[in-house]
Amino acid sequence: MNRELGLRILSQIMDWEDDESREEFRWLSFMSTYKYDDYREYLAGARFIESLATWLQQFEPADRAIAYSYIKENLIYFSSPEIQRLVEKFSPEIFYRDLQELVSVKLGIPKYMVWSSAKSLKEFRWQARKALFMGLSDGARIDAFRRANAGVISNEQVAITTEINSEKWQSLLRDLEKDLNKINSSQGSGERFSNVYLIDDFTASGTSLIREEPLNSGEFKGKLFKFKKSLESMAGDSPLEENVRVTVHHYIGTEQAKNTIAERYMKAKFSLEEIGVSDVTFTFGIILPSKIKLGRASTHPFMTLCEKYYDPSLHLDEHFAKSGCPDAKYGYAECGLPVILEHNTPNNSLPLLWAETSGENATHAIRPLFRRRQRHTEFNS
């Protein structure tokens, strides 16, 4: 379907007058070109305007204006360039700041003097090489991170995952020793990593990073504990310094995730201390405020559509069931987000934006505006 035809159909669906159509067409044409057509999960031959027309048709005529208004005024879409900017600003805002503090303390000089002498610059390079960067998922954009830090960070101090074995740890340590010897001859022997950065793209609920299963059992799981398991493969010969600093950085997070992670970390802290990790910091490139969230207590008209057009089959998914919520009307852990990432839509976002159901048992068959690629699916389905 070409854009002109899509816009005409959309005008008929929304029952717009000519003046209103021209005004909305300008906005739709600009936003689809500038942002929304970039979405990776669109099928061939269909982009935002066509998908919007199909999506709006599932609602009764009286509800379509509410749905359209919510998309126009509330949708938060992170495009490829925007996520790239979040990747690029990690080093100057987080990593370099940490290095500046380390060198300042080590040499006993003010932070602003770190780049003022050959001695302090050498120490800066030394501390920079003793940092290790690891991806918590494929969303960490490690390839983009490497390119953004070429000449500052070595490829040998970056790992695409935390789940590595003892052989890989030994390889990382050998490369560390070799590079440190180049900075300060014969001084790199026996050195370990002093800073570890665990990087991911997005967290909405915080549950994927730290969770206790079963509840109140003292047994913790999640991405942070996969890192712990990886360290345990070294059988006591830790690749990290005794006072290692671990920073978990998400390019995008929510206030809900920030608070949940802080609360769960305090409960799980003792488990990490068993492997010598006692200093964990959580940072974010951007934090989305709670006011964007749509939930059961919301007064926004779109909330009534989330209730009215919900398909209960969504809650049959075992991962939604683990959230402990009565249903999936507002996404995983009831985050209720209007958020779309250019490569996929989080299941924490409102299902009415991304879900696709068959409408069995006389329920509503949800049509997606931004089709989500499910990471966890039943093989038979």
Q: What is the pLDDT of residues 332-342, one digit of tens each?
A: 989 999 999 99
| Alpha-carbon span 37 to 46, nearest angstrom | 9
Domain ranges of the chain: 3-74+306-362, 81-290
Report which residue type is found at 216: N
Q: Residue 32: what pLDDT?
A: 93
pLDDT at 221 over 80: yes
Check: CB of residue 136 under 8 Å from CB of residue 200. Answer: yes
Could you tell me which residue, 233 or 105, shows the higher pLDDT?
A: 105
CB neighbour list of residue 363: distance below 8 Å, 6 or more residues apart = 311, 312, 313, 357
Q: What integer is the mean pLDDT of 66-93?
A: 96
pLDDT at 214 over 80: no
Which residue from 73, 18, 68, 21 is spatially nearest to 48, judged by alpha carbons? 68
pLDDT at 348 over 90: yes
DSSP state of 42: P
Highest mean pLDDT among 66-70, 207-211, 267-271: 66-70
Neighbour-count burial for 239-275, b at 16+ CB within 10 Å, e otherwise? bbeeebbbbbbbbbbbebbbebbeebbeebeebbeeb
| Alpha-carbon span 188 to 218, nearest angstrom | 39
pLDDT at 380 over 50: no
376: left (phi over 0), alpha (psi -120 to 50) or beta: beta
| Residue 24, CA distances (Å) to 49, 56, 71, 76 in order | 11, 15, 12, 18
Could you tell me which residue, 13 or 314, shows the higher pLDDT?
A: 13
| Alpha-carbon span 198 to 207, nearest angstrom | 16
| Alpha-carbon span 104 to 108, nearest angstrom | 6
DSSP codes joined into one string, 207-276: TTTSEESSTTSS-EESHHHHHHHHHHTTTT--SEEEEEEEEEEEEEEEHHHHHHHHHHHHHHHHHHHTTT
| Alpha-carbon span 154 to 75, nearest angstrom | 38
Cross-strand pairs, 186: none
Surface-to-core class of residue 158, CB atoms within 10 Å of its CB (0-12 exposed, 13-18 middle, 19+ buried): buried
pTM: 0.91
